[in-house]
Homo-oligomer: A and B are copies of this chain.
Amino acid sequence: MAEQIELTQKQKKVLLFIRKKIKIDKLPPTIREIAKQFNFSSTGTVRDYLSTLVRKGYIKLAARRSRAIELIRPPLRLPIIGKVVAGLPDLAIEDVEGYLDLDRWLNNEDKIFLLRIKGDSMVEAGIMPDDLVLVKREVSAQDGQIVVALIESEATVKILRRRQGKVYLEPANKRYQPILVEKDSSIIGKVIAVIRKYV
């Protein structure tokens, strides 16, 4: 999808420079900034490169706007590999299941925060002590969903259970007991992801 034609070495260098500039300056370069970088004495040369990069599917340009170079693949898109086949030498990444676009995934940033897990009450659900859970602020949730609730003014992560009109907060650890709560009122958010960082 959105196939990208192979680039020459020089074209790659120009593209890398643009990426680098966006990363460092948080701003795409102007045509003349690119020219300066590569000692091109003409802006036309740069425009040749940019046109090529557009044609080959790596960037988009907006006419008559300064610095309007947009990368087609955003830098925060990670490939999801379903199966790693042997082969090598460059670890043939052909079985790309899809992409996780973190920008999009984490939209509504103001309603989302990370909570650090304390205790082992959710280990059987794969949520370990010190894990970070991505929490989306919400006041209600469905049966079976993992929620963040306030119990005695402490944040707890549990599974929400609705049984005969009653609401329980159920741990995922046999050594703990479910907690009966009065209403949904104590729910402050839903766990939408777990992130664990090693090292």
Interface residues of A (CB under 8 A from B): 25-28, 30, 62, 65-68, 70-71, 75-76, 78-87, 91, 93, 97, 100, 102-103, 105-106, 109, 112-116, 123, 125-128, 131-132, 134, 137, 145-146, 148, 150, 153-155, 188, 190-199
Contact B188 A193 (CB under 8 A): no
Contact A65 B194 (CB under 8 A): no
Which of B78, B83, B195 contacts A109 (CB under 8 A)?
B78
Number of copies: 2
The distance from the CB of A189 to the nearest CB of chain B, in whole angstroms, is 9
> In the complex, which residue of chain B has the Cβ closest to the Cβ of A198?
B192
Task: Provide the residues of chain B in CB contact with A27, threshold 8 Å.
Answer: 27-28, 65, 67-68, 70
